[in-house]
Amino acid sequence: MPSPFPGMDPYMERPGRWPDLHQRLVAYIAEALQPQLRPKYIARIDERVELRPSGKVVVPDVQVIETPSELSETQSAYGALVADEPQTISGGDEERRISFLELVHRETGNVVTVIEVLSPSNKLGLGRDDYLQKQEDLLNTDCNLVEIDLLSGPAVAFARRFRVTTPQDWRYIVSISRSQQRTQVEAYAIPLKERLPRCKIPLLPEDDDAVLDLPTVFTRCYDVGSYDLLLDYRQPPPVELSEAEEKWMAALLEEKGLRTATE
């Protein structure tokens, strides 16, 4: 069963759902692009370690690793004072492995294009700073950079440096920075009520762009993930919507039989 939304489903932005969707998006984007890339290029999935967003106060779960019951023979002493042995506790920020996609020139092994599907950790706290630094590093190379931002919240894609005014009610964005044209950006600005775009994916300048059918990729993620069995459309979405978006969404979900007028 497909998502009731014509484009991005805001109910998928719930933190507990996003990691699974993120993994599927990266894998199915590679799957969709690979037939267009052969034999000159290869779509390769890589990953990096990021911390859980720290933009708000989080009280983490803790685990006691060791609780001493008596003084250790190896304790250090100063005069008549002996330090008590502390308990060791794990906790704090949680590490996550974040996947991204590289399009590699087969003969040279050079990375031609990096495709990032942005995650919540890219938008808040130290994770945002780390991502922006990585973005800056990539922009100083000969790689093309494609950023797919299907999350509400602060803008971090390269397109944030430019004024994107059309359409005025855009919520999501795909940003494309070509290695030879850093002074401009190509952007697909996406309102909630519109379908996801079929995006240009740049390769080397002498080659035609590949085309990423993002609507088909998202539908595949939704269907294979059986998200229709996990999402409760009777409840509010996990993100803030404008009054116009809320009105449109309520009418849509009522039309699809997923919500009544009283909910």
Residue 137 three-state SS: helix
Q: Compute the average pLDDT of residues 18-39.
A: 96
Q: How many residues does the chain have?
A: 263
Q: Which domain holds residue 191?
A: 10-52+90-237
The predicted structure's pLDDT at residue 167: 93
Q: Evaluate whether residue 4 is within a structural domain.
A: no
Residue 256 lies in a domain: no
Residue 194 belongs to a domain: yes
Q: How far, in Å, CA of 225 to CA of 222, rounded? A: 5
CB 42 within 8 A of CB 104: yes
Domain contains 232: yes
Residue 126 within a domain: yes
Q: Is residue 104 part of a domain?
A: yes
Report yes or no on 24 lying in a domain: yes
**167 or 125, which is more confident:** 167
Q: Are strands 77-78 and 81-82 parallel, antiparallel or unpaired?
A: antiparallel
Burial 225-260, CB ≥16 within 10 A → b, else e: bebeeebebeeebeeebeeebeebbeebbeeeeebe
Number of domains in the chain: 1
Q: How far is 100 from 48, CA to CA, in rounded Å?
A: 8
DSSP label of 194: S
pLDDT single digits (tens) 38-62: 999 999 998 876 655 444 433 333 3
Q: Each residue of 107-138: b (16+ CB within 10 Å) or e?
A: eeeebbbbbbbbbbbbbbeebbeebeebbeeb
pLDDT in tens, 87-125: 655 544 555 678 899 999 999 999 999 999 999 988 888
Which one has a higher pLDDT value, 83 or 190? Answer: 190
